[in-house]
Structure 1
Amino acid sequence: MITTQYKIILPSDYDMNIIKERVRNNGHKTDGFDDLKFKLYLITEKGINHNLQNSYSPLYLWKNHNGLNKFLFEGYYDNILTSFGWQQVQVGIPLIDPPFDISRYKYLFHFTKPISPQESMHNAKEEILKNIPTINEAEYMLTYNPDKWEYDVFYFLSDVSNLIEGKQGVVYTILHISHEI
Structure 2
Amino acid sequence: MIAMQYGFTLPADYDMSIIDRRIRDKGPLLDGFPNLGFKAYLSARKGDFGSRDNLYAPFYLWQKPEGASDFLCGPGFQALTGAFGWPRVNTWIVWQAAISPEIAAAAFATRDILQTEPYAPLADLRRAESAEAEADLAAGVLASVSGFEPTTWTRVRFRLWKDMPEIGRHTQAYRVGHLSLAQP
Q: Same fold (TM over 0.5)?
A: yes
Aligned to 1:121: 122
CA RMSD of aligned residues (A): 2.3
User: Compared with structure 1, are the counterparts of its residues 114 and 7 closer, same or farther at alpha carbon in structure 2 (3 Å cutoff)?
Assistant: same
- Mean Cα deviation higher: 36-45 or 59-68: 59-68
Tell me the SS of whatever aligns to 2:176.
strand
Deviation at 1:155, TM superposition (A): 2.1
Identity of aligned residues (%): 28
Question: Deviations 1:36-88 (Å, cap 9, x if unpaired)?
Answer: 11100000101111111101000111111111111111322101111001111
Aligned to 1:176: 178
Unaligned 5+ runs, structure 2 = none
Deviation at 1:124, TM superposition (A): 3.0
Aligned-partner Cα distance in 1 for 2:182–2:69? 17
Is the Cα–Cα contact under 8 Å of residues 138 and 156 in structure 1 kept in the other structure? Answer: no
State the TM-score, normalizing by the size of structure 2. 0.87
Is the Cα–Cα contact under 8 Å of residues 100 and 137 in structure 2 kept in the other structure? Answer: no
Task: Give matches, 1:128-143, under 5 Å.
Answer: 128=129, 137-139=139-141, 140-143=144-147
Aligned-partner Cα distance in 2 for 1:127–1:118? 16
Aligned to 1:15: 15
- Mean Cα deviation higher: 42-51 or 68-77: 68-77
Question: Deviations 1:139-173 (Å, cap 9, x if unpaired)?
Answer: 3211111111111111222222x503x44211110
User: Compared with structure 1, are the counterparts of its residues 44 and 119 closer, same or farther at alpha carbon in structure 2 (3 Å cutoff)?
Assistant: closer
Is the Cα–Cα contact under 8 Å of residues 135 and 163 in structure 1 kept in the other structure? Answer: no
Q: Which has the higher helix share?
A: 2
Unaligned 5+ runs, structure 1 = none
Aligned-partner Cα distance in 1 for 2:146–2:152? 15
